[in-house]
Structure 1
Amino acid sequence: MYMLTGEAKHWWRGTSQMLIDRGVVVDWVCFKRDFLEKYFPESVRHAREAEFMRLQQGEMSVTKYDMRFKHLARFYTQATSEAWKCRKFAEGLKYDLRRVVVPMAITEFPALLHIHLYLLIVWGDWVCRYLYCMLICLCLLCLQFL
């Protein structure tokens, strides 16, 4: 609240005083709710949620896709588990990567991202097609055959 400047600072001074005068406890939850209502309308939040549900990697790098995924995931209003986030992320990957990563059924997001980056950085894009076609069972974290 101390970081507000300009019009937002003026708005919050007036709003917080009005809330206090009405006997409302002004805490972080109260501030966040009122701030979002004022500066981030529900229609925009719904648009971001819909964008999240349609998100695909497309031409984005893995890092860019990860950043966009995490940014938009904040707007998803349903309760989600780590496993659900992993499935959603994996299903949005490029086809060659998705067909390798999805069957692994990884349920921890950092591990999913680590494996995806490892596949691309160390082995390159061709490994995804190779692993899929050869059906090799390989632990990608320790590089040992299973």
Structure 2
Amino acid sequence: MHASDTESVELASYRLWDMAAVWYESWRRSRGQNAPPAVWFEFTRAFLAHYLPAEIRRARVDEFLLLRQNNMSIREYSLKFNSLARYAQAIVAEMEDRVHRFVTGLGPHLIKACMTASLQDGMDIARIQGYAQNLEELQRQAKQDPDRGRHKQARSAGYSGDYQGGYRPHYSKRPASSVVSVPSHFQGQRYDRSIYSRLGQRSRAPATSYRRETNQARPPLPRYDQCGKGHSG
């Protein structure tokens, strides 16, 4: 905002609230009525001395130097790294130092690839953090591929339900059975379960056997003296 040292103090004071606003009014009065307007360096030194003492800042620096990824995700590790790096500006003043510090704290599954990537020209902390997060996501998906492959194989083989490693036979889907056609000589008769059951079995038997059984069940035709053959009509 191109604010001067005194204007910066006024802008910051409008952002304070609750106990911080009470502290600022107390601090401003403690400077005396005829004191010149406070400058930014004077304000920040008093503010940090009250809310972030030197011993706490040193503890934050030590925590930053010992920071490792361990069981954290890359996102969690990056957020904590950026938060603690504010207290160690002298240690990571250069971008190369900041990137190197971040990479050395990574887990063994990422450090080798990220160390190679950090040697590229123009690499900054945002790019190396994004690269590490993408690499972690790819490794996570690679671990899940075998499971997804087994599920896909089970679905393609026609298995139903969740795949649990056991064998399940493949049952092919059959179309809905159609209504069995009834020969004309059975039409009009009372429904008999045994008749329709036998008809269903005959429909799956060979054609010659079906015709033989049908002829046996059919009543004999009248024999005519003129031709000596049995027929109707």
TM over 0.5: yes
**Structure 1 runs, 4 residues or longer, greater than 4 Å off:** none
**Higher alpha-carbon Rg:** 2
Length, aligned pairs only = 126
1:83 Cα deviation (Å)?
A: 0.7
Check whether the contact 1:19–1:25 (CA below 8 A) recurs between aligned residues: no
Alignment of 1:1-146 (within 5 A): 1-19=13-31, 21=33, 23-78=35-90, 80-104=93-117, 105-106=119-120, 107-121=123-137, 123-125=138-140
1:77, distance to aligned residue in structure 2 (A) = 4.3
Q: For residues 1-27 of structure 1, what are the alpha-carbon distances to aligned partners after superposition, in whole Å with 9 as ceiling and x for unaligned? A: 123334332221121133354635413
Structure 1 unaligned spans of 5+:
128-146
TM-score (norm 2): 0.49
CA-based RMSD of the aligned residues comes to: 2.1
**SS of aligned partner of 1:75:** helix
Write 1 or 2 for the structure with the bigger share of helix: 1
Of stretches 58-67 and 100-109 in structure 1, the one that deviates more from structure 2 is 100-109
CA distance in 1, matches of 2:39, 2:32: 11
SS in structure 2 at match of 1:115: helix
Q: TM-score, normalised by structure 1?
A: 0.75
Instruction: Indicate the structure whose relative CO is greater, using CA pairs within 8 Å and at least 6 residues apart.
Output: 1
- One-letter amino acid of the counterpart of residue 90, structure 1: V
- Residue identity (%): 24
Task: Compute the displacement of 1:28 (Å).
Answer: 3.3
Paired amino acid for 1:117: Q
